[in-house]
Structures are given as structure tokens and as C-alpha cells.
Amino acid sequence: MTVTVGHDSTKARRTLTSGGSSIAYYSIPAAQEAGLGDFSRLPACLKVVLENMLRFEDGKTVSVDDIKAFGEWGANGGKNPREIAYRPARVLMQDFTGVPAVVDLAAMRDGIIGLGGNAQQINPLAPVDLVIDHSVMIDQFGTPRAFQMNVDREYERNMERYTFLKWGQNAFNNFRVVPPGTGICHQVNLEYLSQTVWTDKDQNGVEIAYPDTLVGTDSHTTMVNGLAVLGWGAGGIEAEAAMLGQPVSMLIPEVVGFRLTGTMVEGTTATDLVLKVVQMLRQHGVVSKFVEFYGDGLDRLPLADRATIANMAPEYGATCGFFPIDNETLRYLRNTGRDEARIALVEAYAKANGMWRDADYAPIYTSTLELDMGTIVPAISGPKRPQDFVALDVAATTFGEYVAGQRGTKDVTKKQENLWEGEGGQPEPVDIPGDTGHHNRGYVQTDDGHYQLHDGSIVIASITSCTNTSNPYVMIAAGLVARKAREKGLNRKPWVKTSLAPGSQVVTEYLEAADLQKDLDAIGFNLVGYGCTTCIGNSGPLEPAISKAINDYDLIATSVLSGNRNFEGRISPDVRANYLASPPLVVAYSLIGDMNVDITKASLGNDQDGNPVYLKDIWPSNAEIAELVESTVTRAAFLKKYADVFKGDEKWQGVQTPDSETYDWPPTSTYIQNPPYFQNMSKDPGVISDIKGARVLALLGDMITTDHISPAGSFKDTSPAGKYLVERQISPAEFNSYGSRRGNHEVMMRGTFANIRIKNEMLDGVEGGYTKGPDGAQTSIFDAAMAYQEAGTPLVIFGGAEYGAGSSRDWAAKGTALLGVKGVVAESFERIHRSNLVGMGVIPFEFTNGDTRKSLGLTGDEVINIEGLEGDLKPLSNVPCQITYADGKTKTIQIKCRIDTAIEKEYVEHGGVLPYVLRDLAKTA
């Protein structure tokens, strides 16, 4: 690839000597000397963006005034929301978001031919790496055969998708695929792909060095900020535009400084720390802001812990959580197998360009927070939001309060019935610790025997997700907990589905080197796959008898996972309460099997001599953990496991794919379909029209996540998506998941707003994807939307605060657009989803003047007119919204149009960012 840079009118280009070699770079101190502003106290994360402006300054897309704005940012106390055009160095994808992105690119090739262009104009200009990590499901667990059986099933389910991705790898330039079974994209990115400082040739053939930056089609792309690589999640549509040379339009962000001091105390983990950080930053409010971590606490914070904190930036709402380059950055690069010349360049570049953190590092921040790491206590988070921090010693009490809140104030215990055949009848009820009389309970028999399940029974304990499996300290700790538990004769409870899904093969390498994998195996934490699994909702089915008991008795079953997301309906359709925890705590909770029990005080079971065993008896010391990490997590392990990262196993190598410039869309495929976005496109854009006579499709509450809007997990044959597949002779056993079906817009339209836990306030107490149709009767959201489309009626959505929280999935916006929704009005939006809506031509609006759906008395029966959109609409303008109530009364309010920048207005005029890019490319044909 060749990096095209500007004409360097800033005179900031200089030469850097590193390791005996010279390389060109763009110097921030030189730009300051040239009088472009005082950049000396900019945060390092903002200096990365400034360097991007210096490198691409051309007097048009990026101007000298854009560069000067960064000097004004510091002078204004860390604020200057100027619109800039930012170009990341590369793009990262995973398969759930990558398949629809490649579908879009393939469709754009067809589209540009239709506009008179050349298919080869649709090619990534920036390097793209796609890691297949989201597809493996935990069908088998607790057995040495689990990994191979799950991999075999993965290929059976997903061969159409993998064939398509392999076609894309061959058809497009600058596009590589990391095969299944390798690891999670963010961990592969952290451990192998990222370089911290990137190098490439410019259009004149001169080698230049610049900060490693990226956008990724997964919100946890932020993980790599722990390695001082500036990256964040973007929707697939925005990432595709970036691939094709379109700059990312953004405002110069505010930067919140988070000062870390002190030292982590004995018995606490990086997971405990990040859960506290998430809580603090959510309370502070950091949506659309950068967070940069600084302070002397970083001197005692390993890079793996930094990556854990950076990973969860979407959970605290920030664009990114950045850690500047320092000696720990260099140590990690060396230990993970990076080239010594690259490591020397990273150090020299960071020091030359003012991006190095030392004892004197003291930038200007927009605002600051501080946390003494010595105050961190063991914790979990839940039952349905990552920011719901719960200290471990009150977790059981808090869970009891949650159950009481769910059950109400009276005894609602369901009748207990015998669920198995045989003599002896039903056993005596087991006491539930902290029982308020509001817990449901039921009985179940499986191959492991019969037992009681009740509210709080832990049915899933999963070591999963890039957030924690990338961290050897917590993974070694989990292995040591398993070893100590095994030595004392403890085992998982029989109703707990246990699993271990590391984020890379290196984890298996060091667990085996430490002789800990056999201990994990012994209590059920066998390897089930290298991928996201439970964290993305691919936890797989529970045993049928357990699932039946949960549903027959309406139990509040519980999961404990080392992931980053615990939203409603995400982890398993059978599990209502989900808790995030460190890997060693996941192991411990599998032993006790009950969220009602105070795990810090209660016995986990008895040892071989009948003595009670407590958590403190099996918890490893920090010294034990550190000693094993030091001896087993080696440079050699990383070099070995990443030597053939793109090669894949025999199954991947055997995937056959057509060699063609354009894709031959299989008409009968239920996985891959040609989307409608670029079909029969005109050469000219349209205009933004007022929204007139719109009806309300859904009336939604606070914290409506992208999981609510576009679920990723399983679905039933009675759902609109299920009915679509059944009509095409697909059996429910072969449905796979919504995530795996994202290459088929017909399935995904039907899955939009179809989360089993979503609550549409237009209906009274109904859960799931339902609404009122044009006739006022209850129906599915999809069927109602199609009826309104047939009648030519536009639709709007109303929501509460933090609308679109969660992941970067662009299908939450694509599905919304395909249902005929023209506008979404909410109290506030999360960054990525707002951008995705605009990228699909759907206009986001925010209430003003304290108005909310509740204060306005909305029921969903209203008719909505939103005017002021036609003509000279200015970004962030207030526009009038007229509400006509069912009784004929009207009220006009002002709402803010969240088209934030001038280029976003153009995107909406074109019907989205990709039609904009396609028409722009066609002009040069």
C-alpha cells in the first residue's frame, strides 16, 4: 500500500534516526516552531490526531486552520469542537460485522458498474484485517472433545459465509482474513497486528513513520489503546467508507484525564479495577470523549491490565481509553515478539514527537478524575449493565434485592412439581440463602442426578472474551484457583455449564506450560474454542431439562462470565441475570453454583476430610501469579503461535471459492444476499425532506442497547426471522444466530427490535419485538413496519437516555432504515449508533428543554411531523416537531437535529455514506 499525504505546506516534515537507520516523519515540535500553535501540553492521544492533520494537510480536506485548532484546544481549557477529517492507518473487522461489510463492497462493485464505473474502483485503499472469531458456539463443553466438536459444527453451519469471505480475500486488494480457531480479533490485534508506530511509503516512494491508528467494526477495538494505538469502534458502513479513502468526519474531542495512583492490593485483579473505572466514568459522562490514563500508578500497571481497561471503553461510553507510550509499552512489544528495530523506532518516535510518558508528563485535560488503586476491592458487575458495580461482599444481598424487585412484594413462589419419573417422590426444598419468600424454585433431573434450581442458580460460568482472556495475570489466577479447588476435592456444581474460550492460542500455550490446563479441565473448564462465545451470546444451549425447569418455573437463572457485556437477552435466552467477573471468580462461582450465597464467607464445599473450604483457601497470592506469568508467558510462545496466523487449519485451506471480480449472488442462499442499498441508483443525490405524517413504530426507555435493536444470538421459529427461514426449508436446528445471518438483509430486517427482553411502551408489560400495527392491534414490529411501508407511511422511534449503547453493529442502523424509520428521537445517543444512523440516512434527534417521551405523555398513537429539514439545514440545528395526539390535540416542541457536521448532511442527502462514496467514485470513472 502507498500512503498518500498532503503537500506539506506546514513544513513539519523531518527525519528521525533510529537503530542506525533514518526515516521521515511529521514533527509536532516543528509545527509549533513554525508558529502553528502551542502543542506542548496536548494529551498524547490528541497529538496522534494532530499528527494525522499534519500528514494529510492539503489545503482542502485538511487545512492549516484545522492544525491551528489544536493549539486553540489547549488555550480553551481542552475544548474546541471543530470538524476535522481524520484518516486511520488501517481497518480491523470480525466476521459478524465483516460479512455484511464485504457484502456491501461486493454490492458496490455491482453498483458502480451500473453507474458506468469500473469494479476495480471498489478496493480497500487502507489495509484491512478480518478475524473470524464470532461464529463458534458452545455446543459441547466439559469434555476433551469439546474444542474439535465445536469447530466441526462451526464449519458445518458457516461454510457459505466462509466461502464468501475467502472470495473477498481473493477479490479485494489490501484485505486479509485470519481463519477460524485463531483467536479474538482484539487480542490478535494487540498481540500481533499492531505496531504502535507504523511505517509505509508515501506517494513519492519515501518511507515515513507515523502513529499506528485504526477503526474497527467492533466496539472493543478500543482494547489496543492499551498499547498506545489509537483505535475505536465504528459501524461497518463507516469503516467501509474509510477503506475506500473517505476520511472519518469527527469533531476534535474533549479529553478526560484519569489519574491512577497507588498499587493494587493483594487479592484484587484488573477486572475489579476496570469495573470500578467503568462505574466512575459512566457517572462522570464521557460519551464522544477521549479518556487518557496518566499518573504514577501506570508505573505499576502491566500492559495486560491497561488493555483490560482500554477494552471496556464502550462500557464507560468513551470513544477510547488511551495509555501513552512508556517503558511498559516497549516491554510488551518485546515480550510478544515484535521486531527489535520496530521497538527502537517506537521509543525514538514517541520521544521525538512528544508522545512519551515519563515522570514529567502533565498534559492539559478537559476534566480529570483520580483513583487510588489501593482502594480497589473484589467486585462483580450486573445483573444487566456493565456499570452496575457490586462489591463482592454484598453481591448476594444485592442479588436478593434484585429478585425481590422482580417478583414484587408478595410471595409468588410457583407450585413445585415433580419433573422426573421414578419412585421416592420429590426431595425436600433446599433453603435459599437470603430468601425473602419471593424466590421461585423448581426441580430437575439430568444425567448428573436430580437437584433443585431456583432464582439465582448459576447455570453458566464462562471464561470468555478478549477483555480478560488477553490478560495472563487473571488467566493464570483462574488456573491456580482450579488447581487449589481440585486438590481439595471440589468440583463445579452439576447444573453449571462451564467453558473456557481464550482470545488467542498463546493462552493455551502458557496454561499448558504452567501445567494448569489439566486443573481447569478437571472441574469442567475445558477448551471450547478460540472466539467470543458466551460474551457475544454464543453460549450454546443449556441441557434440555435445565432449560425446561427455568422456563416452567419462570426462574431468574444466572450466568457469571469474564466478558464485557451483560445486557438483557444477550448471554442466553434462558438466563435473565448476568454478572461480569474476573476469570478466577468465574471458576469460584462455578463451585458454589448460587448467586444467593455470599461467596466471600460461605463454604464452597468440603475437602476430602470433610472440612469446609472457603474462597480464601483457594485464592492465589499475587506473588504466585506473577511467578508463573514470568516463567510461562514468553516471547517464544508468541512467535510460535503467530508464525502462520493467516494459514489456518486443513478445513480452512480446503474451502473452495470462485475466482471472480464480482460476486455471483446465489439466489437460494439464506446467508448471503445482494442488499438493496445500491440497486437502481441514480447518479445524483436526493434532498433531505421534512418528515410528515409519521407514525410511531416503538416507544422505548433508557439504555436501549444495540443488542435490543439488533440482537446477535439465537431466535425461534415463531419469530419473523424464524418464519422466513422455515418457509425456505431451513430447520430450527440450522438457524444458527442473527449474527451469523448478517449477510442476509431479509433475516436482519425481521430481527430488528426483536430482542426477547425489549419492552415497547406502546404495549402494556409485553416483552419482545412487538408493537401496534396500522389497525391498532398488537403485531410484530416487522409486520407493522411492512404494513406502514405498503401504505406509504413514514415511521419514527422515540427513546430515552443513552439510546444505542453497546456495540458498533451497523445492523442496528441498517435494520432501522430498512423498516422505513426516517427519524429516531431520544434524550441522548451513544456515539457509534448515532453515527451509524446518519450513515444509513436515518436522522437522529434529541429532545430539548427538558422534554421526554414521558413528560409529553406519548403513548405511540400520535402522528408526528418534523419540519425545518429542507433547504439550508445547519448541523446541530433545533427544528420543530409537531405532535398530534389521538384526541386531536397538538403540541409543537423543539428537537435538536443530530446531523453533527456538514459532511454528515451530505451523507443523509445521498441516503447514506456508502451511496455518497459510490457516487463520488463514479464521477472519476
| Whole-angstrom distance, CA of residue 605 vs CA of residue 494 | 13
- pLDDT at residue 510 tops 50: yes
Question: Looking up cell 498463546, which residue turns up?
Answer: 506
Helix (H) or strand (E) holding 917: helix 913-923
Average the pLDDT over 807-823 and give the result. 93
What is the model's pLDDT at position 848? 98
Cell readout for 448 is 448428573
Convert the pLDDT of each residue in 175-210 to its tens digit. 999 999 999 999 999 999 999 999 999 878 899 999
| Residues 23, 209 contacting (CB under 8 angstroms) | yes
Task: List, for residues 578-607, the tens digit of each pLDDT value.
Answer: 999 999 999 999 999 999 999 999 999 999
Give the mean pLDDT of 344-359: 97
As a whole number of angstroms, the distance between CA 579 and CA 562 comes to: 8
The contacts of residue 407 (CB under 8 Å, 6+ apart) are: 438, 439, 440, 455
* Residue, of 432 and 506, whose pLDDT is higher: 506
- Helices 236-243 and 831-839, interaxial angle, to 10°? 70
Cis peptide before 383 (omega within 30 of 0): yes
Going by pLDDT thresholds of 50, 70 and 90, the confidence category of residue 414 is low
pTM of the model as a whole: 0.89
Query: Where does the pLDDT of residue 10 fall: very low under 50, low under 70, confident under 90, or very high at 90 and above?
Result: low
Q: DSSP 3-state helix, strand, coil percentages of the chain (rounded to 5)?
A: 35, 20, 45
Give dist(CA 52, CA 57) in Å, integer: 8
- Which three-class secondary structure state does DSSP give residue 918? helix
CA 333 to each of CA 196, 227, 292, 304: distance values in angstroms, whole numbers, following the listed order: 9, 8, 20, 12
Read off the pLDDT of residues 772-790 as tens digits, 9 standing for 90 and up: 999 999 999 999 999 999 9
Q: Which of 301-315, 421-435, 643-657 has the lowest mean pLDDT?
A: 421-435
The gap between the terminal CA atoms of the chain, to the nearest Å, is 21
pLDDT tens track for 849-893: 999 999 999 999 999 999 999 989 999 999 999 999 999 999 999
Contact (Cβ atoms closer than 8 angstroms) between residue 713 and residue 569: yes
Determine the Cα–Cα distance for residues 94 and 185; give it in Å rounded to an integer. Answer: 6
**In the structure, how many helices (H) and strands (E) does the chain have?**
31, 35
**What phi-psi label fits residue 485: left (phi over 0), alpha (psi between -120 and 50 degrees) or beta?**
alpha
Cell representation of residue 239: 469503516
Q: How far apart are CA 324 and CA 336, in angstroms?
A: 18
Cα 453 to Cα 558: distance, rounded to the nearest angstrom: 11
User: Within a 13 Å sphere around the CA of 35, how many CA atoms are in the beta-carbon half?
Assistant: 1
Q: Say whether 767 sits in a helix, a strand or coil.
A: strand
Q: How far does Cα 740 stand from its chain's mean position?
A: 16
Angular region, 146: left φ>0, alpha ψ -120 to 50, beta rest: alpha
Side chain identity at residue 915, one-letter code: P
In sequence order, which residues have a C-beta less than 8 Å from that of residue 252 and are 6 or more positions away?
A: 46, 49, 69, 70, 73, 80, 81, 82, 84
Residues 713-742 as b or e (16 or more Cβ within 10 Å = b): bbbeeebbbbebbeeeeeeeeebbbbbbbb
Is the alpha carbon torsion for 371, 216, 575, 854 positive or negative?
Answer: positive
> What's the full length of the chain, in residues?
925
pLDDT tens digits for range 703-729: 999 999 999 888 999 999 999 999 999
Q: What is the pLDDT of residue 422?
A: 41
Three cell numbers, residue 758 = 425489549
The grid coordinates listed for 743 are 449477510
Task: Name all domains of the chain by residue range, CATH numbers in brackets.
Answer: 2-85 (no CATH), 90-375 (3.30.499.10), 414-422+437-637 (3.30.499.10), 688-710+755-923 (3.20.19.10), 712-751 (no CATH)
How far apart CA 654 and CA 353 sit, in angstroms, is 47
Burial 609-634 (b: 16+ CB within 10 A, else e): eeeebebeebbbeeeebeebbeebbb
Residue 575 amino acid letter: V
Is residue 418 scored above 50 in pLDDT? Answer: no
